[in-house]
Chain A
Amino acid sequence: MSGLKRGGAAIVGAAESDLGQVADGMSPLDLMAQGTQRALADCGLALKDVDGLFCATAQSRLSVLAFAEYLGIQPAYVDSTIVGGSSFEYHVAHAAAAIALGLCNVAVVAYGSTQRSIGRRQASMREINPYETPYRPFMPSSAYALAASRHMHQYGTTREQLAAVAVAAREWALLNPAAWEKKPLTVEGVLSARMVSYPFTVRDICLVTDGGGAIVITSAERARSLKKPPVYVLGCGQSVTHNAISSMPDLTVTGAVASGKEAFAMAKLGPADVDAVELYDAFTLNTLLFLEDLGFCKKGEGGAFVSGGRIAPKGALPVNTNGGGLSYCHPGMYGLFLLIEAVRQLRGECGARQVKDCDVALAHGNGGVLSSQSTVILGSQATV
């Protein structure tokens, strides 16, 4: 974003809370707090250092108030921007701006959800759209399925190509001890799974898990004196194109075109410079769309691009290295986990799934029904 300084802020702490199926009675705030405690321990800062608080959750109406109260802090700056799963990529840009302006010094961005434990219907308020709800689309799956129908129609994309995204995600997940899914998956396994909204079977769709986490952001200067190597915020970009799928201008082109352009311009980098790519894969289609719209391949060529294991662990481009929302974890809004994985890859903490010589990582968040897009480009010390 113009106005933000490349590398002016850095992520210094990152951690997940408990994931998967959490203990009985745990609340979203418990998970946010657990993530925060772990992320602060990760960088050696304490709760008393935190003066900026950022969070979003579908399970608390005034989440940042509830969370500040829980933590026992009175932050100088708060932001509970909620634009769906990409909220946390927006929070990174907002935190970097707030830190640059001196509105806060140490920002925590946190998330928590118990949607698996309490059920999806309980976890988010049902919203009636008088122009869509009467047709009983299974949301959000049917919205993305409509987009998939266009991509298949215009570019000849096949169900097998979509399935290749789920298979690659599963291969990465098998290298991640924290991942929910533990068994191999094949293209045939994706295609023959229970159909939800054509062309998507349940294996084309993200998991329904509990989970949460937090990251800690501060100025580049302060970051250099902390426990772990700083992960610099090199570029940020955002785009909001619509809310309902019936108002999306072109179902094959997302706001990632604009958000990616903005983020790469700020980072003074291009797709070829990115070592690890973390994309919000709520559906197999998303990975394909974002690879196209962020410039990793041409529009319409995503299907061919993801085939043949190119984005799998031994492929040319490491994508969704934690196993993604499809196989690692997906607690309602997944955006924060993209950032956590990008940070860990840049620090070289990823063990069996570590990308070699990882200096630039991209985290791309998606919210609503392809509605809000936010790209964050992060870099190691070598990039600044």
Chain B
Amino acid sequence: MQTQTPSPLKTYTDHLERGELAYQFSPTANRAVFYPRVLCPFTGSDRLEWRVSAGTGTVYATTTVHPPEGAPFNVALIDCDEGFRLMSRVEDIAPDQVKIGMRVRFRVHRPGGEEPPCPVFVPEDKR
């Protein structure tokens, strides 16, 4: 039987289910790859290793979304220390107090129901 390549998204989500923020690493390019995929966008190779992030990073960009109904909330881009960037939000702080350059730490958010878990962040000094 033909070997089927595991879904990058499924592998990522499985890590999140275990409370881990996973990313890929390209040994040839010697750098992190995010979002997860089946080939390295820097080399074209399919040689990609899965790694688990230490979960620490810095806010790269931030906005506060004001929905027509409900409370304003944060959306941010986070640069993780391993050298990859992802969209997320910073919690446990007023959305407009999230600042570029702020140090943050990963935690897993479990919306429940059909929704898969996703990574969110909190200010590094809060646990």
Which residues of A line the B interface, CB within 8 A?
130-132, 134-138, 142, 145-150, 153, 194-199, 244-247, 251
Are A137's CB and B87's CB within 8 A?
A: yes
Are B63's CB and A149's CB within 8 A?
A: yes
Are A246's CB and B67's CB within 8 A?
A: no
* From A132, A135, A153, A194, residue with most partner B Cβ within 10 Å: A135
Q: How far is the CA of A79 from the CA of B116 in the complex (A)?
A: 39
Contacts of A247 in B (CB 8 A): 35, 85
Shortest Cβ distance from A246 into B: residue = B87
Q: Is B127 an interface residue (CB 8 A)?
A: no
Are B62's CB and A135's CB within 8 A?
A: no
Contacts of B81 in A (CB 8 A): none
Shortest beta-carbon distance, B38 to chain A, in Å?
A: 15
Shortest Cβ distance from A198 into B: residue = B64
Shortest beta-carbon distance, B31 to chain A, in Å?
A: 13
8 contacts between A and B (CB under 8 A): A134-B116, A134-B118, A146-B76, A149-B100, A197-B65, A198-B96, A244-B87, A245-B87
Are A198's CB and B63's CB within 8 A?
A: yes
Q: How far is the CA of A135 from the CA of B67 in the complex (A)?
A: 13
Are B73's CB and A134's CB within 8 A?
A: no
Instruction: Please provide the 9 A-B residue pairs with the shortest distance between their CB atoms, ordered closest to farther.
Output: A145-B63, A146-B61, A246-B87, A198-B64, A134-B118, A153-B100, A195-B66, A132-B87, A137-B75
Tell me how many residue pairs across A and B have CB atoms closer than 8 Å.
74
Contacts of B101 in A (CB 8 A): 153
Q: Is B88 an interface residue (CB 8 A)?
A: yes
Are A138's CB and B65's CB within 8 A?
A: yes
Are B75's CB and A146's CB within 8 A?
A: yes
Per-residue contact bits, chain B 57-85, to A (CB 8 Å; 1 contact, 0 not): 00011111111000001011100000001
Are A131's CB and B65's CB within 8 A?
A: no
Contacts of A132 in B (CB 8 A): 87
Are A142's CB and B60's CB within 8 A?
A: no
Contacts of A196 in B (CB 8 A): 65-66
Shortest Cβ distance from A153 into B: residue = B100
Q: How far is the CA of A137 from the CA of B61 in the complex (A)?
A: 13
Which residues of B line the A interface, CB within 8 A?
9, 35, 60-67, 73, 75-77, 85-89, 96, 100-101, 111, 115-116, 118
Shortest beta-carbon distance, A376 to chain B, in Å?
A: 29
User: Which of A130, A138, A153, A199 interacts with B67 by CB under 8 Å?
Assistant: A138
Told that A138-B67, A197-B65, A197-B75 touch, could you supply 16 new A-B pairs with CB distance under 8 A?
Answer: A134-B111, A135-B87, A135-B88, A136-B75, A142-B63, A142-B75, A146-B61, A146-B75, A146-B76, A149-B61, A150-B60, A150-B61, A153-B100, A153-B101, A196-B65, A246-B87
Are A197's CB and B77's CB within 8 A?
A: no
Contacts of B73 in A (CB 8 A): 136
Shortest Cβ distance from A138 into B: residue = B65
Q: How far is the CA of A131 from the CA of B86 in the complex (A)?
A: 8
Contacts of B77 in A (CB 8 A): 146, 245-246, 251
User: Which of B9, B66, B88, B116 interacts with A197 by CB under 8 Å?
Assistant: B66
User: Which of A131, A149, A153 interacts with B87 by CB under 8 Å?
Assistant: A131
Shortest beta-carbon distance, B6 to chain A, in Å?
A: 15
Contacts of A149 in B (CB 8 A): 61-63, 100
Contacts of A145 in B (CB 8 A): 63
Are B85's CB and A146's CB within 8 A?
A: no
Q: How far is the CA of A251 from the CA of B76 in the complex (A)?
A: 13
Q: How far is the CA of A15 from the CA of B66 in the complex (A)?
A: 37
Shortest Cβ distance from B100 into A: residue = A153
Q: How far is the CA of A247 from the CA of B75 in the complex (A)?
A: 15
Contacts of B85 in A (CB 8 A): 246-247
User: Which of B60, B64, B89, B116 interacts with A135 by CB under 8 Å?
Assistant: B89
User: Which of A131, A135, A147 interacts with B61 by CB under 8 Å?
Assistant: A147
Contacts of A147 in B (CB 8 A): 61
